A and B are shown apart, each in its own frame.
Chain A
Amino acid sequence: MSIVKGIIGAIIGYVVGAALVTAIRAATGADPWDLEVATMGAYLPMLGGWLLGVGVWGYWARPWFGKDAKTYTFTGWKRFFNFDTDHKVIGIQYLVTFLFIFFLAGLFAMIMRYELMNPGLDVLTASSYNGFMSLHGTMMVFVAVAATIGAFGNYVVPLMIGADDMAFPKLNALSYWIVPMVVVFLTASFLLGGYDTGWTGYAPLSVMTRTGALFFNLAFVTLGLSSIVGAINIVTTVATMRAPGLSWFRLPIFVWAIYISSWMVLIFTQFIALAMMMVALDRTVGTVFFDAGEGGAPLLYQHLFWFYSHPAVYIMILPGFGIMLEVLAHFSRKPLFAYKYAVGGMLTIAFMSAIVWAHHMFTSGMPQVLLRPFMASTELISIPTGLIMLSAIGTIWQGRLRLRVPMLFALGLLFNFLFGGITGVFLADVPADIQLQDTYFVVAHFHYVILGGGIFALFAGIYYWFPKMTGRTMNELLGKVHFWWMMIGFNLTFMPMFWLGLNGMNRRIADYVPSLGGTNRMISIAGFLLGTSFVVFLWNFIYSWWRGPVAPANPWGATTLEWQVSSPPPHENFDTQPVIVGDPYGYGDPSVRHTVLEPTP
């Protein structure tokens, strides 16, 4: 019902906004109807109408006008379709929503790989290839930015710090319920013929191309809004709601990772919204920010875009590092190695991420004087990144490794990220990058980081926290089958792409020189292997949630707080306020305890 009200609100908002703009245009003598201008005018009323309808009015805003707020009465599965403020419900909402986007975007990748099996155009046109490619990139970036923080940042962080919920539960629900509008804008873009600028949306192409591009701009701005609202909440929660005794250096490393990435979201996301809005204004009201013929500056877009989008890479991967280190420690039954260096590494990455953006622009024609400093800063960021690797391999060294499914994904991440990180050193080197920039070498590199790193972490997190979130257990054997299938498919798909880029295959092309046909065909087949691995996961995920064996409170024997309450936890999380008395990784040392809370049987 809430969703229906939301849709009605959105439609009313769009009609009112668009009508107002059209009326003004008619009154000033301009051609009254223009879809893009009307949509720009309708953007805020539409978003507002949706949010008010979906629950903001009923559960939040009514008291502002002297009315009683509606009482929230939903239980069971209906909570997931309503304006629920429980962080545990919101975490699951994020997880399922972004898994859906992930699989849809993965399907688009399959379509692209099918087209790329042979040189020449087979099933797609050059135009539709660009459309699928752009949507694949955009949706996957959205998943990488928001899935882990949204799902586990919401579900696990309050539990890990001994809080009963987030600092601002209503704001938390708001940040989730903005996301469906992102999906609406992306769908509208698709229906209007898509856009052919890739997720990077470089101006002036993005200003000149078809109408779908405007909806891409609005989708990105909307996701940015959701991210910022969510980040405010997480930063506040971790800063103010930690249980007594939970000092900063007793925080589980995953909480640190989410906390630091949330700060980065808070600081940097406004710049992507700015870049997107400037393109949207160039398209609709004739500002000429990026029109060189009228005094605009095309390169300005790239500076703004990468000033967000490079930190965004770390926003995507830091939570992944957090999950990896968390899992490695618990499944090696060993304290996290060099904990403070890992935290210091993450903090240093966060600071340095602000001064490396122009390494995406070495061949852009920007002033030559910028090459050396950005090359230097980019090579130097490998040092704090190395600290994460140090912590990881130090943790597994002489541990007692339990190779359960979450552990396999964490080890897989470590393996994959090694190649992603090392090839980053090549790309940061200007003389080498001149050949590699905009080729499949870059495609391989960032898939090793984002898919091999971030998405492997997402799956490690799903297998690790599934018992906590659903109260049920996933099938171990199917999990292992999924891991090996995905791991082999992933490496067979992306490892040859390094070679492909070096040998002259540039990015974002539907057609290529015939000599690269054999390698591309092999990559496509490996890609289908990777794609089908998720069938195993989906079966396991859905069936286990429905019929899986009931999970105990602490199936992994882990020390952190979320495992000391029942699976799933009660509504208020803890019956009594937990007190923290030691660090979270007291393995092998009976004198170190994390909490005095007795595990629920």
Chain B
Amino acid sequence: MADSTRNTKIDLIVVAVLWIVATAITYWWLSTTSFQPMGASTSAEISDDSFDLLLKLSVPVTTFVLIVIGYSVIRFRAAPDDTDDSAPVRSNRLFVGLWIAITAVLAVYVIINPGFTGLAALADGRDAEMTIEVTAQQWNWTYRYVEEDLEIARAEELVLPMDVPIVFVITSKDVIHSFWIPAFRIKMDAVPGLESRTYTTATELGDFGGDDGFRVQCAELCGTGHSNMSTTVSVLSQADFDAWVEFEKSEGEHG
């Protein structure tokens, strides 16, 4: 008995040390690496913060299970000629209790933060100064700038001013599409018969040539042309944007 107690202690200490080391190495690795592509809007910041927090919380859970699996496979592997059974341990109140308590606390915690806090942050950005009506159809996009009274049908590019809070009012003429701008972390389905809204403010100048996250991409399967149902996105300064609007309007009058 004394022998097996000592072994248990050693096993637990080794696993704890390995767990701490693995967790520390993973945190160090994450601090030097970014999985996120370029983010260029207020909504991108909120979405990325949520993702990063979840990533941080998931590290110790993942390393714990991996270390236990790895340690068990190496340490508790039976010799080929072994015919013995293990000690009949059926449960362990302390371990089961801790496990349930920790997983429950983690689950409730992520509901509140980043879940509810992220949603609240997204809701804060809803005082739009500019309305753009987005109409999807197989397989192109139409953008209407409501305040500017400008419509770009079958658009090739979505042009936006920087630092202006925008609401996109999204609908579809035929099947369901989804309005997604990867660099802005906004995505909202375009559903026939519904007007769905999504809000964002561009915080960086940029265009598709600089980063291919600057594009509108249909993210809901909509038939044959789905893969290529996209337009580029260009974020301009307010002055450049105004000039662009004037130009497009005069084009419309003359064309």
Q: A587 near B99 (CB under 8 angstroms)? A: no
B141 at the interface (CB under 8 A from A): no
Q: In the complex, A299→B92 CA distance in Å?
A: 47
Check A552 for interface membership: any CB of B closer than 8 A: no
| Contact A435–B182 (Cβ < 8 Å) | yes
Note all chain A residues with C-beta closer than 8 A to B61. Answer: 422
A70 at the interface (CB under 8 A from B): no
Which residues in window 110-137 of B have CB below 8 A to A? 110-111, 114-116, 118-119, 121-122
The stretch among A334-342, A448-456, A480-488 that forms the contact with chain B is: A334-342
Q: Which of A4-12, A149-157, A274-282, A387-395 contacts B (4 or more CB under 8 A)?
A: A387-395
Does A492 reach chain B (CB closer than 8 Å)? no
Q: What residues of A have a CB within 8 angstroms of the CB of B66 in the complex?
A: 415, 418
Q: Are B192 and A298 in contact (CB-based, < 8 A)?
A: yes
A550 contacts partner chain B, Cβ-Cβ < 8 Å: no
CA distance A292 to B190 in the complex (A): 12
> Of A335, A375, A504, which is within 8 A of B115 by CB?
A375
- Nearest Cβ in chain A — how far from B190, in angstroms? 8
Residue of A nearest to B83 (CB): A557
Asked if residues A334 and B187 are in contact (CB atoms below 8 Å), the reply is: no
In contact, A513 and B186 (Cβ under 8 angstroms): no
B91 proximity list for chain A (CB < 8 A) = 337-339, 341, 394
Instruction: Among A198, A298, A415, A511, point to the contact of B227 (Cβ < 8 A).
Output: A511
Partner of A588, one of B8, B68, B77, B88: B88
A31 interfacial contact with B, CB 8 Å:
no
**Once the chains bind, are A506 and B100 in contact (CB under 8 Å)?**
no
Query: Which residue of chain A has the shortest Cβ distance to B52 in the bound complex?
Result: A432
- Cα–Cα, bound, A404→B73 (Å): 12
Bound together, the chains give a CA A297 to CA B193 distance in angstroms of: 8
Query: Separation in Å of the A83 CB from the closest CB of chain B?
Result: 40
Report chain A residues within 8 Å CB of B108.
379-380
Of A106-114, A200-208, A319-327, the one contacting chain B is A200-208
- State how many angstroms separate the Cβ of B96 from the closest Cβ of chain A: 5
Q: Is the CB of A438 within 8 A of B219?
A: yes
Cβ contacts under 8 Å, A211 to chain B: none
Q: Does B107 contact A (CB under 8 A)?
A: yes
CB atoms of A438 and B187 under 8 A apart:
yes
Contacts of B175 in A (CB 8 A): 202, 204-205, 208
For residue A429, CB closer than 8 A to chain B, the reply is yes
Q: Which of A209, A296, A397, A507 contacts B68 (CB 8 A)?
A: A397
A587, B185: Cβ atoms closer than 8 Å? no
User: Closest Cβ of chain A: how far from B226's Cβ, in Å?
Assistant: 6
Cβ of A383 and Cβ of B72 under 8 Å apart? no
Query: Please, which residues of chain B bring their CB within 8 A of the CB of A332?
Result: 76, 86
Of A396, A437, A510, which one neighbours B76 at CB under 8 angstroms?
A: A396
Bound form: Cα–Cα A475–B221 in Å:
44
Q: Are B193 and A298 in contact (CB under 8 A)?
A: yes
> Which of the candidate stretches B19-27, B159-167, B210-218, B247-255 sits at the interface with the other chain?
B210-218
> Considering the chains assembled together, what is the distance between the CA atoms of A429 and B46 in angstroms?
12
Q: At the interface, yes or no: A365 with Cβ under 8 Å from chain B? A: yes
List residues of A (291-330) whose CB comes within 8 Å of B's CBs.
292-293, 296-299
Q: Within B179-198, which residues are at the interface with A (CB < 8 Å)?
A: 180, 182, 185-189, 191-194, 196
Within 8 A of B (CB), among A398-423: 398-403, 411, 414-415, 418-419, 422
Contact of A435 among B51, B100, B116, B194 (CB under 8 A): B51
Chain A residues, Cβ within 8 Å of B85: 333-334, 400, 587-589
CB pair A209–B223 under 8 Å, yes or no, is yes
Across-interface contacts of A333 in B (CB, < 8 A): 78, 84-86
A571 at the interface (CB under 8 A from B): no
Q: Tell me, rounded to whole Å, the shortest Cβ–Cβ distance linking A360 to chain B.
A: 12
Q: Are A438 and B178 in contact (CB under 8 A)?
A: yes
CA distance A197 to B222 in the complex (A): 7
Complex CA distance for A415 and B70, rounded to whole angstroms: 10
Least distance between A143 CB and chain B CB atoms (Å): 21
B176 interfacial by beta-carbon distance below 8 Å: yes
**Which B residues are CB-close (under 8 A) to A437?**
187, 219
A439 within 8 A of B: yes
Q: Is the CB of B122 within 8 A of A431?
A: yes
B103 at the interface (CB under 8 A from A): yes
The answer to whether A126 and B225 touch across the interface, beta carbons within 8 angstroms, is yes
Whether A587 pairs with B88 at a CB distance below 8 angstroms is: yes
Q: Which residue of A lies closest to B110 (CB)?
A: A379
User: What are 15 pairs between A and B in contact, CB < 8 Å?
Assistant: A202-B220, A205-B175, A335-B90, A372-B119, A382-B107, A383-B100, A394-B95, A396-B76, A397-B72, A401-B78, A418-B62, A429-B110, A431-B115, A434-B187, A588-B85
Apart from A298-B194, A379-B108: 6 A-B pairs, beta carbons within 8 A: A299-B194, A386-B100, A401-B78, A430-B119, A504-B182, A589-B85
Using CB atoms and an 8 Å cutoff, list the residues of chain A in contact with chain B. 126-127, 129-130, 196-198, 200, 202, 204-205, 208-209, 292-293, 296-299, 332-339, 341, 363-365, 371-372, 375-376, 379-380, 382-383, 386-387, 389-390, 393-394, 396-403, 411, 414-415, 418-419, 422, 425-426, 429-432, 434-435, 437-439, 498-499, 502-504, 506-515, 586-589, 592
Give me the 5 closest cross-chain CB pairs, A-B, nearest first: A292-B193, A431-B118, A365-B196, A588-B88, A588-B85
